[in-house]
Amino acid sequence: MVIQNGMSIVGVGAWWVGYRYWWTPDRRSAGTGAAGVGARRGGVGTRPLVHDERVLEWVRHAHEGTRFTTSVCTGSLVLAAAGLLDGLTATTHWSVLEELLALGAEPTSDRVVEHLDRRIITAAGVSSGIDMALRLVEVLVDETAAKASQLMIEYDPQPPFDAGALAKCDATVVERVIEYAALRQ
């Protein structure tokens, strides 16, 4: 959690929110004050949300009051379906870049994509979500706070393999990922 000038960034269910605001479609006005930061996580259960107009309308409404609206992994599909990413470059998990394109965004395999003037930041996957979070701390607070956060979580990636991007993997690894993903459905 980061606290600066009375704003806290905390986790609440499927959404990360700031400053005493509960981000759920049924309680959009609950709490006090506007959301500081909203983030849509990805993963299992995300894809049906792109067809749920109640959720999409709520996302559009919530974005009006945030300092930043962000997503990690396939959470960007929800932001795109709500129209927040129309014509913008955005990122998501490599396996759904084409779905992101179909929803009106311009997909890229970059780890983090910022549109600070639109108050939108997207991150490709779980580890890039950490990168995005550190960048967000820098934008909202300062570089020292971001570095302190990085040290606090001891984020110093040194993976044992260089297989963290689709372009770095052979077909055997990709097939295994698809196999594992099918088990999660």
Locus of tokens 């934008």? 139
Q: Which helix (H) or strand (E) holds 10?
A: strand 7-12
State the alpha helices, DSSP H only, in 19-81.
53-64, 75-81
Contacts with 152 (C-beta within 8 Å, 6 or more apart), sequence order: none
Instruction: Count each helix (H run) and each strand (E run) in the chain, helices first.
Output: 6, 9
Q: How many CB atoms lie within 10 A of CB 181?
A: 12
Query: Beta strand 15-18 with 68-72: parallel, antiparallel or unpaired?
Result: unpaired
Q: For residue 78, report the phi and psi dihedrals to the nearest 5 degrees.
A: -70, -45
Catalogue the active-site residues.
73
